[in-house]
Structure 1
Amino acid sequence: MAAPLAKEQILDTAEEVLRRFGLEKASVVDVARALGVSHGTLYRHFPSKSALREAVGERWLKRVSIPLAEIVKESGSSMEKLQKWFQTLIHTKRSKAIEDPELFSMYNALAEESVEGITAHINELIQQLTEIIEEGIRKNEFKRSDAGQVAAGIFYGTARFHHPALAKEWTSPNIDEEFRLVWNLLLSGLKF
């Protein structure tokens, strides 16, 4: 008797199938075939094709947010953590978009299918920024303010550099200099 399927095993295989057949053509039957099980077995873990696709998209978003959460926990200057957090976010998304644009596009389409998943992801990222800013306020690195509003403002103010819908702009030869200009402006509002 075969060992029961783990959710991660199903998601790994679903990613491979999506990569091989594309977002439009891949089916639950294709995933089940690749796993050597019936499609009914997959429905025990995911009630629909949509739920499976949503789980793949949400897992991709977690791959973005988990390394950022680790930065929040680091010791050191809040200013340095804030800058490292944004550099990591931008580098992660940019490298995925440049190295495998088709896969990047597919994952974004999957993530966008789940409005709740995207909203939760954005809220998670803004909460991470809020924690860094609150720490900076406590350490007197940043001026007193509503950390949540500042975090949201910085996140949305830098969207050009990390929002997947704007990925085509990331190949501009001036993108790093443009980020530096925006970053310096945002920091001037944070500092004493």
Structure 2
Amino acid sequence: MIQKLAVDISFTLNITPKEFPDVVGIETLKLHYDGLNGKEKALFRHIACFLNNETYENVIRLLEDSELDVGVSLKILFDKSLIQISEERLISLHHVLQNFGRDLALGPFINHPANRQFLMDTSESCDVLIDLSGIRNVFGISFKVQMEERLRRDERFKGIKKLRFMRVYKKSFYGKEVRFHLVKGLHSLWDRLNNT
């Protein structure tokens, strides 16, 4: 994935593909990103912020009722080497591309998390959800289950009209991360979390 992009860029910059992560600047990545249409850009940001290392099937399912033309856009992102799809159908981004995508999505709202499309920091997510002022654009929320006490009631989410999915996670007894993806509806969420 990144190797193909690195080879393309290496001809332009006269560097070897191995030097790519250290030499390639944000402006070069931005050039490739700017070549995408609006739906492809949005999907790239979704993956960078929220859906990296998810299966192809989960990404399709989570975004199936969006206007992103997910199947077509995933193919374009793959063809342009912006994402990788493994034999196990796992979608992933190189860390340089993931950081770039997150910066694009979060950067303009660094001091105003309520205006973001994605809330990924547990403390920030909870603060925004408790306040609820101006939270209209959020598509995805991620937080640790320990913070759920502050978010106990489903009514808290009624004001977030664009909320498409939420990732709640906790550390299991064995130290592994357990994720819960909610595509639609938050009823009985906390009961399900407390019983796992």
Larger Rg: 1
| TM-score normalised by length of structure 1 | 0.31
| TM-score normalised by length of structure 2 | 0.30
Q: Which has the larger helix fraction?
A: 1
